[in-house]
Amino acid sequence: APFSQGVKWWDAVVTPDDVTDEAGFRRTLRALLTESWTLLAAVLGAHAPAGCPLFSSADAYSRIVGAFERRNCAIQVASPVEEYFLLVDALDEGAGKAAITAVTGPVLDALDASYALSLEGTGLFPLQATMNHHCEPNVTLLKEEAEEERDGRVVARLTRDVDAGEELCNSYVDVAQTYKRRQRELREYGFECRCTRCVREAAAAAEKKDKKAGKRKLK
């Protein structure tokens, strides 16, 4: 429901610079989305409640995928395999544990240290998704401790003091990048950034360009 009014996926994707036929590009995306939804509906539709909007047409699905395109947040989740091995290790010694470890032992040996690798993916978090972008953000989604990154949660932390009523903004891209690079990546979110930093850097770039033009005229 939070994403039901979002942009459809084929409209959310930014047209690549090397694409000359935008209409054809979006038709291709729509065909891919429809095929994906058809396969999903064939597998899960029969098990869904009657009238479930997700399977009545591709519309709801297209908007959810569109939300992922623009609003997804990278997350990590602790390996369920690691948790399983820890539970086995905590079992009381005896014939039962010996029978289980006879099966899990070779698996654990084969996995070696990789058994504890975190799972990486993306998630949709309606509250986090309402935050706008700023190239000088006052919020970060990185947690304080590295091990906390494995809990599958999104935690917004202030990076500086904020005034009452000040909007909380995070960054959608790496703010260490240049103005042009940031603008190019932010196009994928469907807007041109006009934050205070971008306005400042755009003005500085324009002034520098004007000075160069003036020097050429003097020559």
HSE at residue 19, side-chain half, CA atoms within 13 A, is 13
pLDDT given at position 21: 94
Kind plus residue range of the DSSP H or E element containing 26: helix 22-44
List all residues 6 or more positions away from 89 whose beta carbon is below 8 Å from its beta carbon: none
pLDDT given at position 33: 97
> Residues, the chain, total?
219
- What pLDDT, in 10s, does the model give residues 47-56? 999 888 889 8
pLDDT given at position 191: 87
- Report the alpha-carbon distance of residue 121 to residue 31 in Å, rounded: 25
- Report the alpha-carbon distance of residue 71 to residue 91 in Å, rounded: 42
- What pLDDT, in 10s, does the model give residues 108-128? 899 888 888 888 888 888 888
Query: ∠135-141-146 over CA atoms, to 5°?
Result: 130
pLDDT given at position 218: 62
What average pLDDT values come out for the chain (219 residues) when binned by 10 residues? 80 85 95 96 92 89 89 84 89 94 91 86 84 95 78 88 95 93 87 94 91 70
pLDDT given at position 153: 84
The DSSP annotation for 37-92 comes to: HHHHHHHHGGGSPTT-HHHH-HHHHHHHHHHHHHH-EEEEE--HHHHHHHHHHTSP
Q: Which residue has the tokens 């590295």?
A: 146
pLDDT given at position 113: 84
pLDDT given at position 74: 83
HSE at residue 151, side-chain half, CA atoms within 13 A, is 10
* Angle, in degrees to the nearest 10, between helices 22-44 and 58-71: 110
